[in-house]
Structure formats: structure tokens, C-alpha cells
Amino acid sequence: MFATKFDYQKASSVSEAIQLLASNPGAKIIAGGHSLLPMMKLRLTSILMLIDIGGIEEMRGISVANGILRIGALTTHAEIADSHDVKDNAGILWETAYGIGDPQVRNRGTIGGNISHADPASDLPTVLKVMDAKFTIQGTGGIMRGGSRTVSADDFFLGPFETALGENEILTTIEMPVLAANQHAEYAKMAHPATSFAVVGAGIVVTVENNICTAARVAVGGFTPIPTRGPSVEQALVGKELNEENIVAATSLIHNDLGSDVFGDVFASAEYRQAMAAIELKHAIYHATGFAHHN
Amino acid sequence: MTTRIFGSGIRRREDPRLITGGATYTDDVQLPGMLYAAILRSPHAHAKINSVDTSAAAAAPGVVAIYTGADTDGVLNPIPCAWVPPGADLVAVAHPSIAKDVARYQGDAVAVVVAEDRYQAEDALELINVDYSPLPAVTNPEAAMQPGAPQLHEDAPNNQAFHWVAEGGDTDVAFEAADVIVKDKIIQQRLIPNAMEPRSAVASWTRATGELTLWSTSQNPHICRFLASLVTGIGEHKIRVIATEVGGGFGSKIPMYADEMIASFCSMQLGLPVKWTATRSEGFLSTIHGRDHVEYVEMAATREGKITAIRTKIYAGMGAYLSTAGPGVPTILHGLIYSGAYDIGATKADVYGVFSNTTPVDAYRGAGRPEATFLVERLVDLLAVELGIDPVELRRKNLIPKFEDGHDVASGITYDSGDYEPLLNMVLGQADYQALRQEQTRLQESGHYMGIGVTCYAEICGLGPSQVAGAVGFGGGLWESAIVRFHPTGKVNVYSGISPHGQGEETTFAQIISDELGVDVDDVSIVHGDTSNTPMGWGTYGSRTTAVGAAAMVLAARKIKEKARLLAAHLLEAAEADVEYVDGHFTVKGSPDQTKSIQELATMANVAWNLPEGMEPGLEASAFYDPPNFVYPFGTHLAVVDVDADNGHIVIRRYIAGDDCGPQINPMIVEGQVHGGVVQGIGQALWEGAVYNDDGQLITGSMVDYALPRAHLLPNMEVLSTETPSPHNPLGVKGIGETGAIASTVTVYNAVIDALRPLGITSLEMPLTPEKVWRAIRQQQGS
């Protein structure tokens, strides 16, 4: 656990961080340091300069206005897990944040750092995708002209450890619509016993009116390069009553949406993970809708 | 009235310093001028080393020196194997500290860099250019003995390290006469021990005096000194090994490792202190592994369910070299204890020790006894199914009846004391076994799979009689010694050669001595871990620390009391026979005012103003204790599991551990040991297992892939006990450090198989991952 030599700069504002990024090719942003530092210490990556954005207050905080939950990218998992705003408006995120790592990880790790790192085994990308989150990104050109761009979670994740973030851009804010009273959301996962990372993670948001599912967003992650939406499952759910038969039938369609790039390892093969995706989706919908656990 | 602190669950006195950063571990040691070593390890499991080019690395910033196998060859003697079971044709292959011609496992040391700081050393490692010719590798012990397998050592044909057979009774006759025979193939998968503290060494050579001081993460500093002397050629009297604070070991810190000797070599070359500390990943490759058996096992019985014999053929992986105690584990600590808790007329162990291109294998918590218990209990469950007898009733039918002073088993060893059935009944009562069986049937009808596993075990620990140690090829004694010393103010230090490393024995030993001497427990401190201020001892492993080490302390304390009595009689002007000892006070019979506390006497003995004629000053004594036998703890464990047929998930609903370790000095610490052991054993059943690929690369080389047990995956543990004293040590105590790991793996395994039996599943390989369970279920449903 001995990183190669690197320089370190602390930025005190978003614009300073972006300027530092632009003037130091190869530099990387560090927030909580819970993804990048271990990789550096294991010498899986070598970074010439770290730009620490950890002290930028403007990137921190949670608020709700006009039906939108807004979370600063530097907000820690612990802060999210402690927030009534998150609990009341996006319970799925609140619960997921609470399940990340251990207290030490949650106290340091940030939501923005987690997303920017884009680890396929992470929980948050899957959750944010089903929550239809939007990410605000600031870059050199953008900030000077008073602009920034917004990328939806559907478009943000490009591959393992690969995102829509450009060379000199920083993710600053995460926004998502608050859940309506008739919307039910849940994230269910099969956790790796060693790390608690997702072997298979399944997120769902279903809208239920008069006992009928009128809208559904479904995504699975942990075993695909990026969180994968499940349009087949979504279509099969909409217009149906959420009973055991319909839930099982719909979630079993997830294999149609997975594509060929499915991960496996010594703990759980790709074949097993594919099969479990349906099971975890089923669990998620059962829990979300208060459907009695299958007998 | 006597109040004893023996038996009281007082808090562990070592905890404040251990959990608040107040302890000085080896890696915390800082010495003036200290340099830092980093070891280059072979990335190949098997490769010829053509050349090692260190020129670029030598020119890197801060690099002081680089050494290769060519430098240590002939200077450091080979790392010795210290346990050579007799009659086994053991091939003691040379184990160089740094590989020179051939690297034989991924992690084998190839070079060492010494630099001014640890980062520079690590950077320079990347600049060393080793020209390897990779060779075919073999990692499975059974495969390694097949014709055509890659060969590791020229002097060990077919990779056979040894072949050891132990038979008691006539197993062939028993099997021929058997009504029923059950068989199984068992894979005792390779485990990777992980203590919280990685291994570390600080070597400091004093050129002017020719003395080596070695801070080492060792469970047995005196053995470490002994073996360091053999490797370096420095006399033992000029080596000081310090291992006062060690952050866990579980057996992995028993062996003498190459790394400590490499650090010592560097310090001796440079005349400066050198520190080496393993990274966690380095530990996965270079710290010993455990288990690694491929076993063919069978049990013979009568139709009525009387077990008559056990017979095995075992391929035990030894790794690329023989570790310090490696060969003793699958032989002496395994093949002699097949009777377990049962009366079995004949047992035979046929064990091949096998070299493979893997990290050396040695003792890991339980060391041989978990493997033995697993195969016995596995076979008993198979037999129960075969005969249609309830597995608990089959066990009860075969239990050894109560015995108080010795019971001979077929393998030739003699158990000390035992009363097995009460604990079985206690555990069954706690579980409400009959109700559980009814629930199981009910649940099964609705497609839910619940299983119950019950284990009865007896194990051998408290190692052990030195004469037996010699007879079984252990390269040392197994006695212990202690010095108990009263200081002038009446405070007591106990100096012990034993070496606790987190178990809490600074507390339990103080409890024992407090009672023996009648002084407050806070007036007693235990000194251990430094060869320069402790008497000779063979260390902490094999659940021997209390049964052997504390016994020596008690004998020394009793000597002190005899001297104190003479002094009391002298000072009280009474006849010796008239002086009574009660609770730390010597009193003249019939004159309660005429009394001296032992602490007052300690003052008088130390100032020595008025001693009886011929009495030496001071109040201290030393004693040696060589146990006449091992100790044999026993117990019954029971697990209840639920298996989800949808995804293969196993949830341990209940775990009940009933153990008898004799009188308990500190029940809280006993419970902690049971918890830890049970958890480690469950780790083997459900999560842990080293996986190598075909090239011999360790796939599970970090905590990202190698799953250690986590608290949230475990049930609340229900801990029960009975107390059957051992007849032969002064405290009657037996070991408790390993029983949990010995019993729990098979208990959980059998519970899972019990749950899956209605689906037609009778066997699975550990660890029982959800996918394996799910696949087995699917296969049965498909067939």
C-alpha cells in the first residue's frame, strides 16, 4: 500500500479546481479519497497530481425545492443517510447510502466521487438511474461563460470507470425528482461477502394507481459494465396489477435487456448473476410494494 | 472465607492499550538510522530464474542496497522445517530465504531492496529486471502426485514430501466385517489466515558486540530465536527476539519465515536497523496458508449403528516448501484423533504430504483437528442417513462413556477426562431439538429448506508432553517455565516464556496468580514476549498457553508460598507446623492477631533484615512444567440454517456452542474465544477458500476476493458449557482457543446438507457459496 509519488493541490472553489485541472494535464480530482486512493496505493494507477476538492463548501449540502431533491456532489454517504429530506423524498437513496461500506467509509466517501468513479459494482449508479437523476457538470469553457451542462444518469455512465465527464470537468450537483406518494422505489442487492459490493443490484421505481402499475423504471447493476435499464421488464409491468404472478413474469424478462457483456468471477459466474438479476428485481418490487415476501 | 477471582469475568486488562493505539507493535518500532526493506516476489508460480538485473534499481533515489539469492546463498542457512514425523520418509528440501535458481510459488522472494524510506524501496522494486523462464505449475495436492505432474524438487519424486501411516486396531478386519460402509471425498479447501496485524520484522545488528535484536510478529519468540540462530549462525545467547505486542496469529505467526531472516541479513550486511512489514496483499502470498487436503474417507459400522472403524487416504498440500510445523499438522494433529467423541475400535490415517506450487501450508486455528472432526462428523451423518437413524441418536449411541482418569482410543493416545452426554443433552435442550425437527418437516411441506447440524467432538490440545513431542518428531520440547517474583513493596511480576498475542492471558494469568498468592489481582503483572527478560518457553499455539504455561506459574507460586511460610514462622516466632495459610495470610493457629500477609513477608524477604538461618533473601521462584499428557476438550455444537432455493442463499438462524474446557478462569474470555473460533470455522464452511488458476496464480489474493466472515452475516451465538477438570494439570484446565473452529465448519456444513437432502443433494464443495447451492438445486430439479 505505497502509492507512487504524486503532487497535491487543494482547491477552495469549483472554478479554482477547474483551472488547476486545465493547467495540469493528467491531474485527477479527489474528494473523499475512498476509490482513487486505494487504487493508487495498490499501484493499480499512478497519478501525477491530485486536486483535492474536499474543502469546497459550495459543493456540499442537501435541499428540496419545487419537487426536486438536490444534493451537492461533495455530500458524504453519512450525510445522505442522516438526512430527513432524503429519507422523505427518496427513501431508496437514503437506504442505499446507509448500506455503503462501513461508518468510516460513509463518513469520508461522497456521492459525487462515487458516481464519477463509476465502479460497476457500486450501488449508487443503479439507484440514481432508476431515480432518473440529472448531474450538473462544470468545465472550463462552461464556467467562464456562466454555463454548465446537465447530463442524465441514463447518459452519464459510459463503461466501467468511464463517464461523460470531460478532461477538465467536475461533477457538482445531483438532482432527482422527489418520489410521489404513489411511487414506490427499492434497491435490492446480492452483496459480495468480502466487500458488500453488488454482485447483482436491482433498482426499481414503480407508480401504482388503483392497484395497477402505471409507470416503471427498472435498472440492474453490479455485473454489467454500467447500470442497465430493463425496458422489457418495465413494459411488462405497466398496466398490470402487481401480484406475484405478474411480478415474476415481468422480472424474468430482464435477461432480454442485459446484452452479452455480463461479468462473472470466482464467487459468482455470469450465468448465475443473470439468473439472480430477475430474483433481485422481484425482491425489490416485493419490498417496494409491501407485497408479502414470497411463500 | 476464600474469595477467588478464578472464575470471574473481569475485563481484559490489555484492552485499553490495544484498542486505543497504546501498544507498540513491531511496525511501530522506530530506531535511529533505520532503513526499510521491500521484498520482490516472484509473479510466477513456477519459473526458472535466468538472471536478476538490479542496476537500475540500485541507482534509484534513496536505495542503499539490493540483495538477491546469490548474496544470501551460503550466508543464510536454509529455513528449517522443525517437525519431522517419524517413519514417513520426509524429504527436507532446501528452502532458501531468497530463491536463486527457481521460484516455486507466486510470492517466493527473489530480491530485497533496502532504502531510506519505504516508498523508495517500493519504487526501486519496480526497476529490478528479472529474466524468468516460466515452468508448468501444479497447485492441487492430489494432481501434484499424478504421473506427468510438474516437479518441484529434484530430491522429492512425484512431489511427495512424506508418506505417513498411523493405524490403531485392525481397520481391514473391521471393514471386511462391516454391515455398512459409507464413503466420501472431502475437499478441505486451502484457507488464508488473516491476522489484523500483518507480519513485520525489525532487525538490528550490533556489529561491535555481534548481537542481533529482532522484533518479530511471532507467537513463539523463543522458538523464533532458536531457529534464527540456526539460519544466521549467531549463537542464541546473542540473539534477542521481542514479540511483546502481536496483533493476532491464529497459527500463521508460529513459523520461521524467510522474510524475518532477510531483514536480519540486511541489517547484518549494513550495520543498521532494517524494518520490513508485509502489505496485506504480500501477506496473502507469503504468510502460510491452512488446510488444503483432498481426502478419501470411509466409515464402517454395524447394522445397529455401532461405528467400528474409520479409514482415510489423504493428500495434504504442503506448499512449495515445508513450513516450520507443516508436516505435523495433517499427521500427528489429525490422524491420531479420528475417534473424536466416539468409541471406535479401529482407525487408520494414510497421509501423503505433497509439494505444490503454492504458498507453504502450516498450522491454522485448529490445525488438523478441524479436518479430522469434519471427516468424522461428515461420515456419521452419512451413516445416519444410510441406516435411517436420527443423527443425534446415532451419535449418542457411539459416545465414549464418562471417564475421569484416562480413556485409550484406537490410535494409541489416551484422553484425559470426559463426560460427553450431559453437554449433548444441554445443547439439544437449548435448541429444543425435537421441535426443530418437527418445524423442519412442516417447512419442507411448503417448499422451505431448513437444516440442522449437530457435532460431537473431542480434540487434542495443550501441547504437550515433551517426551511425546520427541517421539512424534517435533523439533523441540513442549514444556513451559515461569518465574514469579515479589518486589519489595509486595507487588508481583510473573515472567513467562509463553507468548499471548491478543487472547487475554495477561488477565487470566493475573487471576490465577492472584488466587494462588492471595494478593489483589491488580498487584500482579505478566511479562511475556521478550527473550531477554523471560525464561525459556515454547510459545502460544495448540491451545497450550494456559494448560501448560499457567501450570508452570502455579507451581512457581506454590514454591513461593512454602518459603513465605518459613519466613512467617520465623517472624511470628512460631513453629512452622503451627502456621496456617489462608487467603494471602500466614497466621499462628489459634492466635488470629499473630498474622503476616504474604505481601508484608515479601517486603521482609527483600530487605532481608531478619531471615531464618540459611534462608536466601528475596521472594521468588521459578518452575518448569512438562505435562504428563495432552488435554482433551470436548463438546456439542448445533446449527440451524435456512436455505433459499431461489438463489442458494444460506442463513444461519441459530448457532449453539456447548464446550467443556474444564474450570473457566474467566468465562467472558472463554466466550470470546468460542465466538472467534466458531466464526473462523463458519468462514471455511461458507465463504473462505483460496483459488488458484491453472498457471498457479492466486486469484483470491486480496480482501476484495477472499471473503472473511463479517459480523452482520452471523447469528447471535448461544454459548453453553460444562466443567470436567483434567486430572493431570494443577488447574484442571483444558484449551478453548481452537474448539470453535474445530466444531463449527462441519456443524454448519452438515446443517446445509441436511436442509438440501430432500432435494437429493448429499454433498457440496466448500465454501458453500450461493451459486454452488443454486447449481446443485437446479441440477437436481433438472434430473
| Residue B123 pLDDT exceeds 50 | yes
Chain B residues near residue A189 by CB distance under 8 angstroms: none
Chain B residues near residue A122 by CB distance under 8 angstroms: none
Cis peptide before B464 (omega within 30 of 0): yes
| Residue B734 pLDDT exceeds 70 | yes
Is the minimum CB–CB distance between B651 and chain A shorter than 8 Å?
A: no
Fold of A57-177: 3.30.465
- What is the percent of chain B with per-residue pLDDT over 90, rounded to a whole number? 99
Residues B637-647 have a mean pLDDT of 97
What is the full DSSP assignment across B336-400?
A: T-TTTTB--SEEEEEEEEEE-SS--B---TTTTHHHHHHHHHHHHHHHHHHHT--HHHHHHHHBP
Helices (H) and strands (E) in chain B, counts: 21, 28
Q: Which residue bears the cell 504442503?
A: B318
Left if phi > 0, otherwise alpha if psi is -120 to 50, otherwise beta: which for B529? left
| Residue A273 pLDDT exceeds 60 | yes
What is residue A66's predicted lDDT score, i.e. its pLDDT? 97
Best CATH choice for the domain A7-52 from the list 3.30.43.10, 1.20.1250.20, 1.10.10.10, 3.40.50.720: 3.30.43.10
Is the minimum CB–CB distance between A263 and chain B shorter than 8 Å?
A: no
Q: Cα–Cα distance between B1 and B561 in angstroms, integer?
A: 19
Q: Cα–Cα distance between B398 and B410 in angstroms, integer?
A: 14
Q: Cα–Cα distance between B714 and B748 in angstroms, integer?
A: 12
Instruction: Quote the mean pLDDT of chain A.
Output: 94
Give the model confidence (pLDDT) of A210-255 as tens digits. Answer: 989 999 999 999 999 999 999 999 999 999 999 999 999 999 999 9
**Torsion angle, alpha carbons of A69, A75, A80, A81, to 10:** 170
The residue extents of the domains of chain B are 17-135+196-248+253-286, 290-463+629-782, 479-625
Nearest Cα of chain A lies from the Cα of B356 at a distance, in angstroms, of 21
Is the minimum CB–CB distance between B117 and chain A shorter than 8 Å?
A: no
Chain B residues near residue A269 by CB distance under 8 angstroms: 771
A window 43-82, beta carbon within 8 A of B: 43
- CATH classification (class only), B17-135+196-248+253-286: alpha beta
Chain A residues near residue B700 by CB distance under 8 angstroms: 266
- Nearest residue in chain B measured CA to CA from A193: B707
CA distances from A99 to A94, A111, A184, B636 (A): 9, 13, 19, 36
Q: Which of A128, A187, A177, A181 is nearest to A155 (CA)?
A: A128
Is the minimum CB–CB distance between B775 and chain A shorter than 8 Å?
A: yes
Give the model confidence (pLDDT) of B591-628 as tens digits. Answer: 999 999 999 999 999 999 999 999 999 999 999 999 99
Q: Cα–Cα distance between B357 and B150 in angstroms, integer?
A: 9
Is the minimum CB–CB distance between B687 and chain A shorter than 8 Å?
A: yes
Q: Report the run of H or E that residue A36 belongs to, with start and end.
A: helix A36-41
| Residue A187 pLDDT exceeds 70 | yes
- Nearest residue in chain A measured CA to CA from B778: A272
Q: Does domain B479-625 have CATH number 3.90.180.10?
A: no
Helix (H, G, I), strand (E, B) or coil at B257: coil
CB contact under 8 Å between A266 and B700, yes or no, is yes
Chain A residues near residue B699 by CB distance under 8 angstroms: 266
Chain B residues near residue A120 by CB distance under 8 angstroms: none
Residues of chain A with CATH 3.30.390.50: 183-288
Chain B residues near residue A1 by CB distance under 8 angstroms: 279-280
Chain B residues near residue A265 by CB distance under 8 angstroms: 705
- Identify whether the C-beta of residue B94 lies closer than 8 Å to the C-beta of residue B101: no
Q: Cα–Cα distance between B9 and A290 in angstroms, integer?
A: 46
Chain A residues near residue B707 by CB distance under 8 angstroms: 192-194, 267
Q: Which residues of A169-186 are buried (b: 16+ CB within 10 A; e: fewer)?
A: bbbbbbbbbbbeeebbbb
Q: In what order do the strands lie in the sheet with B160-168?
A: B160-168, B346-355, B307-319, B290-301, B180-191
The answer to whether the B290-463+629-782 and B479-625 domains have the same CATH topology is: yes
Is the minimum CB–CB distance between B774 and chain A shorter than 8 Å?
A: yes
What is residue B405's predicted lDDT score, i.e. its pLDDT? 87
What is residue A142's predicted lDDT score, i.e. its pLDDT? 53
| Residue A185 pLDDT exceeds 90 | yes
Beta strands in B429-569 (DSSP E): 449-458, 480-486, 492-496, 524-528
Left if phi > 0, otherwise alpha if psi is -120 to 50, otherwise beta: which for B627? beta
pLDDT-derived band of residue B4, with 50, 70 and 90 as boundaries? confident
CA distances from B528 to A256, B201, B738 (A): 65, 18, 22
Could you give the residue ranges of the DSSP H alpha helices within A164-209? none
Q: Report the run of H or E that residue B571 belongs to, with start and end.
A: helix B551-571
CB contact under 8 Å between B708 and A194, yes or no, is yes
Long-range pairs, B388-397, Cβ under 8 A, ≥24: B389/B305, B390/B437, B391/B454, B391/B750, B391/B754, B392/B424, B392/B428, B392/B433, B392/B454, B393/B305, B394/B305, B395/B341, B395/B342, B395/B424, B395/B454, B395/B456, B396/B421, B396/B424, B397/B305, B397/B306
Q: Which of B663, B668, B774 is nearest to B724 (CA)?
A: B663
Could you give the residue ranges of the DSSP H alpha helices within B388-432? 391-398, 420-431
Instruction: Quote the mean pLDDT of chain B.
Output: 97
Q: Cα–Cα distance between A156 and A175 in angstroms, integer?
A: 13
Q: Which of B548, B552, B726, B731 is nearest to B632 (CA)?
A: B726
**Which of A4, A43, A295 is facing B446, going by the closest CB pair?**
A295
| Count of positions (residues) in chain A | 295
Q: Which of B321, B356, B285 is nearest to B107 (CA)?
A: B285
Complex ipTM value = 0.95
Question: What are the residues whose beta carbons fall under 8 Å from the beta carbon of B339, sequence distance 6 or more?
Answer: B310, B347, B376, B400, B409, B410, B411, B458
- Identify whether the C-beta of residue B545 lies closer than 8 Å to the C-beta of residue B486: no
Question: What are the residues whose beta carbons fall under 8 Å from the beta carbon of B112, sequence distance 6 or more?
Answer: B37, B38, B39, B40, B66, B67, B98, B262, B266, B276
Give the model confidence (pLDDT) of B337-390 as tens digits. Answer: 999 999 999 999 999 999 999 999 999 999 999 999 999 999 999 999 999 999
CB contact under 8 Å between A267 and B769, yes or no, is yes
Q: Which residue bears the cell 503454492?
A: B358
Is the minimum CB–CB distance between A202 and chain B shorter than 8 Å?
A: no
Could you give the residue ranges of the DSSP H alpha helices within A91-243? 91-98, 103-108, 111-117, 124-130, 140-144, 153-156, 231-237
- CATH classification (class only), A183-288: alpha beta
CA distances from B628 to B479, B542, B730 (A): 10, 16, 11
Left if phi > 0, otherwise alpha if psi is -120 to 50, otherwise beta: which for A184? beta
Chain B residues near residue A294 by CB distance under 8 angstroms: 646
Is the minimum CB–CB distance between A192 and chain B shorter than 8 Å?
A: yes
Nearest Cα of chain B lies from the Cα of A90 at a distance, in angstroms, of 25
CB contact under 8 Å between B705 and A265, yes or no, is yes
B window 417-456, beta carbon within 8 A of A: 446
CA B130 to chain centre: 36
CB contact under 8 Å between A194 and B706, yes or no, is yes
Q: Which of B719, B721, B609 is nearest to B661 (CA)?
A: B721
CB-neighbour burial class of residue B757 (10 A; exposed 0-12, middle 13-18, buried 19+): middle
What is residue B199's predicted lDDT score, i.e. its pLDDT? 98
Helix (H, G, I), strand (E, B) or coil at A95: helix
| Residue B101 pLDDT exceeds 70 | yes
Residues B644-667 have a mean pLDDT of 97
Structure letter (DSSP) for residue B542: T
Number of CB pairs, chain A paired with chain B, less than 8 A apart = 54
Residues B724-737 have a mean pLDDT of 96
Q: Cα–Cα distance between B464 and A203 in angstroms, integer?
A: 58
CB contact under 8 Å between A267 and B280, yes or no, is no
pLDDT-derived band of residue A295, with 50, 70 and 90 as boundaries? very low
CB contact under 8 Å between A268 and B705, yes or no, is no
Amino acid at A153: A
CB contact under 8 Å between B687 and A279, yes or no, is no
Give the model confidence (pLDDT) of B470-492 as tens digits. Answer: 999 999 999 999 999 999 999 99
- Give Rg (Cα) of chain A: 19
What is residue B783's predicted lDDT score, i.e. its pLDDT? 61
Nearest Cα of chain A lies from the Cα of B700 at a distance, in angstroms, of 8
Give the model confidence (pLDDT) of B279-330 as tens digits. Answer: 999 999 999 999 999 999 999 999 999 999 999 999 999 999 999 999 999 9
| Residue B272 pLDDT exceeds 50 | yes
Q: Report the run of H or E that residue B119 belongs to, with start and end.
A: helix B118-125
Residues B682-709 have a mean pLDDT of 97
Q: Cα–Cα distance between B395 and B424 in angstroms, integer?
A: 9
Question: What are the residues whose beta carbons fall under 8 Å from the beta carbon of B209, sequence distance 6 or more?
Answer: B238
**Grid cell locating B125:** 522494486
Best CATH choice for the domain B290-463+629-782 from the list 3.30.365.10, 3.30.420.10, 3.40.50.970, 3.30.160.620: 3.30.365.10
Give the model confidence (pLDDT) of A202-212 as tens digits. Answer: 999 999 999 89
Chain B residues near residue A2 by CB distance under 8 angstroms: 118-119, 122, 279
Cis peptide before B767 (omega within 30 of 0): yes
pLDDT-derived band of residue B631, with 50, 70 and 90 as boundaries? very high
Q: Which residues of B666-688 are buried (b: 16+ CB within 10 A; e: fewer)?
A: beebbbbbbbbbbbbbbbbbbbb
Q: Cα–Cα distance between A267 and A260 in angstroms, integer?
A: 19
Helix (H, G, I), strand (E, B) or coil at B325: coil
**Which of B647, B713, B775 is facing A190, going by the closest CB pair?**
B647
Which phi and psi (to 5°) does residue A171 adopt? -80, 125
For an interface test with B, the pick among A34, A267, A283, A286 (most B C-beta atoms closer than 10 Å) comes out as A267
Q: Cα–Cα distance between A89 and A67 in angstroms, integer?
A: 9
Q: Cα–Cα distance between B614 and B456 in angstroms, integer?
A: 57
pLDDT-derived band of residue A293, with 50, 70 and 90 as boundaries? very low
**Which of A3, A195, A294 is facing B704, going by the closest CB pair?**
A195
For an interface test with B, the pick among A102, A190, A276 (most B C-beta atoms closer than 10 Å) comes out as A276
Crossing angle of helices B667-686 and B739-756, in 10° steps, is: 40
Helix (H, G, I), strand (E, B) or coil at A7: strand
Give the model confidence (pLDDT) of B186-223 as tens digits. Answer: 999 999 999 999 999 999 999 999 999 999 999 999 99
B window 703-762, beta carbon within 8 A of A: 703-708, 710, 713
Q: In what order do the strands lie in the sheet with B47-53?
A: B102-103, B47-53, B129-134
**Which of A2, A194, A265 is facing B703, going by the closest CB pair?**
A194
pLDDT-derived band of residue A294, with 50, 70 and 90 as boundaries? very low
Nearest Cα of chain B lies from the Cα of A207 at a distance, in angstroms, of 27
| Count of positions (residues) in chain B | 783
Q: Cα–Cα distance between B638 and B382 in angstroms, integer?
A: 17
